[in-house]
């Protein structure tokens, strides 16, 4: 019995360790499992996310996958929506103060979170909570006592705070409160394990101390790598515009993944695979050794990711769309013609038209793309940003994937 229990504990610890950067409190957690497993008492495994934007992206799924795997081991996953902490603004990794969000904005952003999480794990079997449940009830005296459980010197050990302090950049008082609130969430939820990215290490370790102060056992902390954005520079972040959202249309997800460099593609594969796609392991090893077929691997990887969030039919259609539109440089088959009115001169300016058709975010972007030779009109590269289009029908292409068929009337 003991050897069988030891083997099961090793198996479950291996799941927690898989893909992780650091594991704090493993020894204690092993003893907790030794007591809990025979009694059928699951661990409470916490993952918190602030609804600072309405969309979850692939970076979020790295830890969501680990939460799914813990659910499959029989433990209780807790998906915490930080609607209270989002109003403070997480300072982790920030070079300047993040503007606090209003309660209305936070509620709107959080509205679809559960549906999005359900694309990764069975949310009906998870405990979904909002930290406003307890923070809205906390009195000012209780908040003062909570903040009295650490020091300013300890907070300035945080790398982001330390850099801003040395540079003379402002640190708002409300930012200093954020780690205390995140730590108290673990107290309110009686968490045994907390999962998160490496940018959350300080906050999650503070929770271990705060739990002890409130008479609870300290949670184990398992940190995971941060997925780099499609720019290949910074972590994937909505505010940086370098994300792949899990609810984006399949064509966009597939196209963005196909645009990754070969090296970045392997990073994405390693972080997003979880316990999936074992059949691609040999091909991955060949690529890492400098061999194999990077394009074929990337196509298969992009197909698997789209299939995971949108299903097999949508993935196949996205792959066909990419081949036709990007590789063969053909316009999409289902492109409707849009009618626009000519101005008093009987023409329309190209830059104005690109903005109106939402092919660009602004005329400034349109001008830059023309300068980069990234705009085509009926298959020909546009070189003059002052170009005006007379009455007639045109096919516009911006970059590799944005098309519009327009008739100037």
DSSP assignment of 109-159 = HHTTHHHHHTTTS-GGGSEEEETHHHHTT--HHHHHHHHTTS-HHHHTTSH
The arithmetic mean of pLDDT across residues 5-21, rounded, is: 95
| Distance in angstroms (rounded) separating the CA atoms of residues 317 and 72 | 31
Domain edges within the chain = 2-229, 250-327, 337-408
pLDDT reported for residue 166: 85
Q: Is the pLDDT score of 327 beyond 80?
A: no
| Distance in angstroms (rounded) separating the CA atoms of residues 12 and 9 | 5
Q: At 80, is the secondary structure helix, strand, or coil? A: strand
Q: What share of the chain has pLDDT > 90, as a percent? A: 50
Query: Which class is domain 337-408?
Result: alpha beta
pLDDT reported for residue 409: 86
Report for 153-167, 190-204, 391-405: range of highest mean pLDDT: 190-204
Q: Is the pLDDT score of 213 beyond 90?
A: yes
Q: At 106, is the secondary structure helix, strand, or coil? A: helix
Considering only residues 335 and 309, tell me which one the structure prediction assigns the higher pLDDT: 309
- Over residues 120-143, the pLDDT tens digits come to 999 999 999 999 999 999 999 999
Q: Is the pLDDT score of 312 beyond 90?
A: yes
Q: What is the DSSP string of 371-383?
A: HTT-EEETTEEP-
Q: Is the pLDDT score of 205 beyond 60?
A: yes
Q: Is the pLDDT score of 333 beyond 70?
A: no
pLDDT reported for residue 155: 85
pLDDT reported for residue 330: 66
Superfamily of domain 2-229: HUPs (3.40.50.620)
């Amino acid at each position: 019995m003991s050897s069988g229990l030891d083997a099961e504990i090793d198996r479950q610890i291996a799941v927690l360790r898989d893909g992780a950067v650091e594991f704090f409190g493993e020894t204690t957690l092993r003893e907790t499992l030794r007591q809990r497993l025979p009694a059928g008492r699951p661990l409470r495994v916490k993952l918190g996310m602030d609804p600072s934007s309405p969309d979850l992206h692939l970076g979020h799924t790295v830890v969501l996958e680990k939460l799914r795997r813990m659910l499959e081991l029989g433990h209780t996953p807790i998906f915490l929506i930080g609607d209270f902490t989002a109003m403070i603004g997480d300072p982790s990794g920030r070079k300047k103060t993040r503007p606090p969000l209003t309660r209305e904005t936070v509620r709107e952003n959080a509205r679809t979170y559960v549906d999005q999480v359900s694309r990764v794990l069975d949310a009906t079997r998870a405990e979904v909570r909002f930290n406003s449940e307890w923070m809205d009830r906390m009195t000012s005296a209780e908040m003062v006592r909570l903040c009295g459980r650490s020091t300013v010197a300890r907070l300035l050990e945080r790398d982001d705070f330390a850099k801003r302090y040395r540079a003379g950049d402002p640190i708002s008082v409300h930012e200093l409160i954020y780690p205390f609130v995140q730590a108290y969430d673990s107290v309110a939820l009686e968490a045994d394990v907390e999962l998160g990215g490496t940018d959350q290490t300080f906050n999650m370790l503070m929770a271990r101390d705060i739990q002890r102060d409130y008479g609870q056992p300290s949670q184990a902390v398992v940190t995971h790598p941060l997925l780099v954005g499609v720019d290949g520079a910074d972590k994937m972040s909505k505010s940086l515009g370098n994300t792949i959202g899990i609810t984006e249309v399949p064509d966009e997800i597939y196209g963005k993944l196909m645009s990754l460099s070969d090296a970045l593609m392997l990073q994405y594969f390693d972080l997003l695979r979880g316990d999936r796609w074992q059949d691609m392991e040999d091909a991955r090893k060949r690529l890492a050794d400098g061999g194999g077929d990077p394009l074929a691997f990337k196509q298969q990887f992009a197909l698997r990711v789209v299939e995971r969030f949108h299903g097999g039919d949508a993935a196949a259609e996205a792959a066909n769309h990419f081949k036709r539109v990007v590789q063969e440089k053909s316009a999409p088959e289902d492109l409707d013609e849009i009618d626009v009115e000519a101005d008093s001169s009987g023409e329309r300016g190209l830059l104005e038209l690109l903005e109106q058709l939402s092919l660009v975010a602004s005329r400034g972007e349109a001008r830059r793309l023309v300068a980069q030779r990234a705009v085509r009109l009926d298959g020909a590269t546009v070189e003059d940003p002052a170009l005006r289009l007379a009455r007639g029908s045109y096919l516009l292409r911006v970059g590799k994937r944005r098309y519009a068929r327009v008739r100037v009337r």
